[in-house]
Amino acid sequence: GAGVSQSPSNKVTEKGKDVELRCDPISGHTALYWYRQSLGQGLEFLIYFQGNSAPDKSGLPSDRFSAERTGGSVSTLTIQRTQQEDSAVYLCASSLVPQRETQYFGPGTRLLVL
Amino acid sequence: GENVEQHPSTLSVQEGDSAVIKCTYSDSASNYFPWYKQELGKGPQLIIDIRSNVGEKKDQRIAVTLNKTAKHFSLHITETQPEDSAVYFCAAKPEGAGSYQLTFGKGTKLSVIP
């Protein structure tokens, strides 16, 4: 079946511009996660959505980062006024329910801020 | 919060030899330990996981062992093949209905030399 999809696969932007990254989770998965992976580093948790509950935004690094999830499915991660240190791979994952721990990852969006 | 340390950061083995990657965690409440494989340009894929009520789990050439007393767990790959070359991440998650956040190690780049 279809896995987690993300778009765009690559994004190059200029410092100061806003970017939007999209995630389509596996159909029926209620939990959705965003992570950031900097070069040579592990995965840094950013934000978590579960159904209609308020999201856990505790991992967002600054108020320039925001995310929403519409209709309990597609999610968009927005970075405003991008900085060079925002350059990274942004990964989205989903799981059937949060108590089912297996998270399935998308291929990621590679963001480069010039 | 949870802290996961992973060693080594890089590992080179000859094809056919075994590879072992070790992780330690800090939160004694953690009870779920997945391993992910990330190939170049792709998102992480779950390859095996273990829960704290099990000491060892095996799936063909891959095995994971868990020592809860010492708070460490290891990934063992036997009869390595070139296609095993990738970055491997360990992770840990505490128990509890509200616990959903995986904490990842920084990854091990495995190179299998033909």
Pairwise CB contact (< 8 Å): B101 & A41: no
pLDDT computed for residue A19 by the predictor: 98
Residue A42 has pLDDT above 90, yes or no: no
Check: CB of residue B43 under 8 Å from CB of residue B24. no
> What does the pLDDT read at residue A100?
63
- Whether B99 has a pLDDT exceeding 80, the answer reads no
pLDDT tier, B98 (very low <50, low <70, confident <90, very high otherwise) = low
The position carrying tokens 């990964």 is: A91
pLDDT > 60? residue B94: yes
Q: Are the C-beta atoms of B107 and B60 separated by less than 8 Å? A: no
Helix (H, G, I), strand (E, B) or coil at B91: strand
| Percent with pLDDT over 70 in chain A | 96
Mean of per-residue pLDDT scores for chain B: 93
Distance separating alpha carbons of residues B29 and B27, to the nearest angstrom? 5
CA distance B68 to chain A (A): 19
Least confident of A29-43, A79-93, B14-28: A29-43
Give phi and psi for A85, each to the nearest 5.
Answer: -70, -5
B24–chain A nearest CA distance, Å:
15
Q: What is the pLDDT of residue B41?
A: 86
Q: Are B44 and A105 inside 8 Å of each other by CB? A: yes
| Interface with chain B: mutation pick from A21, A36, A43, A104, highest number of B CBs within 10 Å | A43
DSSP string, B26-67: S-TTEEEEEEEEE-TTS--EEEEEEETT-SEEEETTEEEEEE
Task: Identify which has the larger pLDDT, B100 or B22.
Answer: B22
Which one of A98, A99, A106 has the shortest CB-CB distance to B43?
Answer: A106
3-state SS track over A9-64? CEEEECCCCCEEEEEECCCCCCEEEEEEECCCCCEEEEEEEECCCCCECCCCCCCC
Neighbouring residues of A100: CB distance < 8 A, sequence distance ≥ 6: none
Say what the pLDDT of residue A8 is: 97
CA distance A77 to B19: 37
